[in-house]
Structure 1
Amino acid sequence: MSEEKRCWLDPEDVTPRKGSIYPAPFDAPVAGREKRALGDALGLTQFGVNLVTLPPGAWSSQRHWHANEDEFVYVVEGEVTLVTDAGEQILGPGMAAGFPAGRPDGHHLINRTKTPVIYLEVGTRAAVEQAQYSDIDMKARKDGGTFVFTHKNGDPYP
């Protein structure tokens, strides 16, 4: 095979990232989450694609919404609870949810079952982004690099 990246892969060959980059204590509910960055492994630059596994009890994230990035999830295996400003909805295999950029509807997924949930997560890769967290004293900002988390008043986390 040449030095070029191939256009296909087996997700099992992609090393999963476990947990999140949230500051403590907000990282605890997300600690068991595993993401396989399929888009990165395939060289995609305009949008991200992650294959996510949520073990029983794990959350996808803190409840949040993005100013500049669209998000889409598609459930592959298991049942997961989608929590939004409107309430809760069970999503099963083959079901999808979408969150347009700039719509202030805090959302996340929670695995309240006894078996793992697997879903695809697809999102825009905006260079400049702000995320608001609905239920906690946190916001995030990205300006070309990685997210920086602060209190809602702008004070940094230690």
Structure 2
Amino acid sequence: MRTSRWFSLIFFFVGLTPLALPSLAPLHAEESPAPGAVVEGTGFSLFDMESIKGFDAEKVERDPVCDRSKRPKIHKVEPDEAKPGQKVTIKGENFGTKECFHGVAFSAAGPAKIDYNFVNDTTIEATVPDVRPGMSFIDVVAGGGNARSKGFLVQAK
């Protein structure tokens, strides 16, 4: 009985091998495409893609050029404590241009949008958000990165 099992297994594997080989033959019989030829179904290509037709010189002139090499710094926040709704002035350097300035954030406010006014490269005015009283940090995000202030006290309303 044992020999018949082995014999059956050998017959099974040997019997299948000749059947499987002919199906592989056409893969090797086909000609390979010429170098640089477009072959359908080979993945992403720009086949039938319209080419870029120049650029708009006016738009390029209007686009801001943001200097990413100058990291912003906050020197001071005046006043250093305020109630929600009051305005604070953030003084520093390298805040960039209005077009390249991204925003102001208070750490106590999380992702809430903060109202601010971009004055110039060294001055931003921001409104303290409605958050619980306590310490917070003020972050400015400019084209060259972000900067964090020293602790800022949000007072009770």
For the criterion TM > 0.5, the same-fold answer is: no
Higher helix share: 2
Q: TM-score range by the shorter chain?
A: under 0.3
More strand by share: 1
TM-score, normalisation: structure 1: 0.24
Greater C-alpha Rg: 2
